[in-house]
Amino acid sequence: MDHNALQQYDREHIWHPYTSMLNPSPVFPVASAEGVYLTLETGEKLVDGMSSWWTAIHGYNHPQLNQAIHQQVETMAHVMFGGLTHRPAVTLAKKLIDLTTDNLQHVFFADSGSVAVEVSIKMALQYWVAQDRPEKNKLLTVRNGYHGDTFGAMAVCDPVNGMHSMFKNILADHLFVDAPRCDDQSAWKAEYIAQFKQTLAQHQHRIAAVILEPMVQNTGGMRFYCAEYLRQLSQLCQQHHVLLILDEIATGFGRTGTLFAYQQAQIEPDILVLGKALTGGYMTLAATLASTKVAEGISADQHGVLMHGPTFMANPMACAVANASIDLLLASDWKSKVKRIEQQLQGELARCTDVAIVKEVRCKGAIGVVELHQPIDIYWMQPRFVALGVWVRPFNKLVYLMPPYIINPAELKKLTDAIYQVIHEFSDRVH
């Protein structure tokens, strides 16, 4: 097939994420990827501002990551993890335990972020069953959150403003409070945590765990909030004997300026969920880390077995490239790179506030967000970005960037210039 036939077959037969088969949004066939560039089948080169949904922090086709894959496939591409283990998985588990807070000493490998969230929820619920407290079977979370598209994960996504409202009568019924309202510049006020505090106190007897994304609510709206909220929340969880699950699938591995976002609040979660950038964007892999309290607590009853086992969990190739990605990150000056990206995003996206349809511009680490007053038109906007030589994937009312850390200032400027131009053009179209 030539690229036109390929694109047509795709349009007629392949169901892409969050699309309708009756009116699919445009797709652009990629032939190769190198560094921060995607090369299309038609020959155009696009600067990637998405890191392939926030995973490819080192860019594409990196020689060290390629080598890790090649070396591993020569010895063992996959082996079941039931009753067997292997060096790449043990090495990766040790790296994750060494990098995270001291209480997290146990690692469960999953094959996607959503599944890792499912595992975290199952851990929390099973912990309380083992403590002879089966009535503690609800989760408490904040609105505007997003934790994945499987059923357990959907149940703790925002039930009104999220993507899963059509399933509201099918999903498990959990507790929600308003999203955090304090940004990093706000002076702390007790009222910011009041609703959470009241709900936790009122329902502590039936809440198994609190689950939320630390510091940044990602797919639920790219909203940032202050570390003090997280500190207060953690203290309340301890006070009321409720487990704390932190979902760092999107924020882990440096994206917000610290290796993990929870470190900005200096707290210890009971369960931590990692994914996305774990393998540098090479293969699907996620991990759910648990404290000794949780791991041994689950094992306290006559069952004592965590009932979960993805077929491809701890895939050796995925673990091998994850090890290489973590080594590559830690050996680099990633903090300075992320800080430079943040400063450039702040400086260059600020001019977007001059456009009438722009509600707010906000930046944190290697995340830059332009929020509009109205939803974007993906059918018009996506091709315009491609025509300008960039890959930006807006959604809802948000046009945002989460680029690879290796991006240079000129490449990043091409992205911010394109956002400014397209938002201007979109403003002209809607007025």
- Summarised one tens digit per residue, pLDDT across range 100-124 is 999 999 999 999 999 999 999 999 9
If asked whether residues 36 and 49 sit together in one domain, one would say yes
Q: What is the mean pLDDT of residues 280-308?
A: 92
The catalytic residue among 48, 136, 262, 276 is 276
379 classed as catalytic? no
Q: Would the pLDDT of 184 be above 90?
A: no
In a domain, 337, yes or no: yes
Burial of 388 (0-12, 13-18, 19+ CB in 10 A): middle
Q: Which of residues 331, 353, 370 is at a domain's end?
A: 331
Which CATH number do you get for residue 149? 3.40.640.10
d(CA 224, CA 217): 6
Burial 166-183 (b: 16+ CB within 10 A, else e): eeeeebeebbbbebbebe
> Distance (Å, rounded) from C-alpha 360 to C-alpha 343?
17
Say if residue 311 is in the same domain as residue 387: no
Mean pLDDT of 385-390: 98
CB 140 within 8 A of CB 156: no
- What is the end-to-end Cα distance of the chain in Å, rounded? 41
Choose the final residue of a domain: 331, 361, 390: 331
Alpha helices in 14-161, H assignment, sequence order? 51-54, 63-75, 87-99, 113-130, 151-154
pLDDT band per the 50, 70, 90 thresholds, residue 139: very high
Kindly name the residue from 48, 111, 247, 270 that is annotated as catalytic.
247
Residues contacting 387, CB < 8 A, separation 6+: none
> Is 268 a domain residue?
yes
355, 427 Cβ separation under 8 angstroms: yes
Q: Which of 124, 114, 216, 226 is nearest to 163 (CA)?
A: 114
Helices (H) and strands (E) in the chain, counts: 13, 16
Pick from 148-152, 257-261, 366-370: least confident: 148-152
**364 and 225 within one domain:** no
Q: Tell me the CATH number at 377.
A: 3.90.1150.10
255 and 343 in a single domain? The answer is no
Cα distance between residue 145 and residue 162, in whole Å: 8
Local confidence band at 167 (pLDDT 50, 70, 90 cut-offs): confident
Are 284 and 216 part of one and the same domain? yes
68 in any annotated domain: no
The answer to whether 94 is a known catalytic residue is no
Active site residue 247: yes
Choosing from 18, 102, 168, 359, the catalytic residue is 18
Residue 67 lies in a domain: no
* Per-residue pLDDT at 247: 98
**Residue 97 is assigned to a structural domain of this protein:** yes
Query: Coil, strand or helix: which one is 254?
Result: coil
Residue 69 lies in a domain: no
Residue 18 pLDDT: 87
Q: Residue 303 — pLDDT band, cuts 50, 70, 90?
A: confident
Distance CA 384, CA 262 (A): 37
Last residue of a domain, one of 296, 331, 366: 331
The answer on pLDDT for 163 being more than 80 is no
Residue 18: active-site member: yes
d(C-alpha 128, C-alpha 134), whole Å: 6
CA 193: distance to chain centroid?
Answer: 24
Q: 127 and 47: one domain?
A: no
Question: Whole domain around residue 349: which residue ranges?
Answer: 3-61+333-430
Please state the domain count of the chain. Answer: 2
Closest by CA to 39, choosing from 47, 31, 51, is 31
For residue 384, the model assigns a pLDDT of 98
**Residue 13: is its pLDDT beyond 80?**
yes
321 and 338 assigned to the same domain: no
**248 in the same domain as 179:** yes
**pLDDT for res 159:** 82
Q: Does 260 lie in the same domain as 112?
A: yes
Q: Cα-atom radius of gyration of the chain, to the nearest Å?
A: 22
| Whether residue 94 has pLDDT greater than 90 | yes
**pLDDT value of position 376:** 95
pLDDT band at 187 (very low <50, low <70, confident <90, very high): confident
Select which of 146, 229, 400, 420 is catalytic. Answer: 146
CA distances to 121, 152, 161, 213 from 199, rounded to whole Å, are 19, 21, 20, 19
At 133 the pLDDT is 96
Specify the pLDDT at position 207: 98
Is 231 a residue whose pLDDT tops 80?
yes
Whether the per-residue pLDDT at 302 is higher than 90: the answer is: no
- One-letter amino acid for residue 44 of the chain: E
What is the overall mean pLDDT for the chain?
95
Looking at the fold, whether 244 and 116 belong to one and the same domain comes out as yes
Band of pLDDT at residue 93, cut at 50, 70 and 90: very high
Three-state secondary structure string covering 381-422: HHHHHHHCCEECCCECCEEEECCCCCCCHHHHHHHHHHHHHH
Model confidence pLDDT, tens digit, residues 334-360: 999 999 999 999 999 999 999 999 999
- H-helix segments, 260-313: 292-298
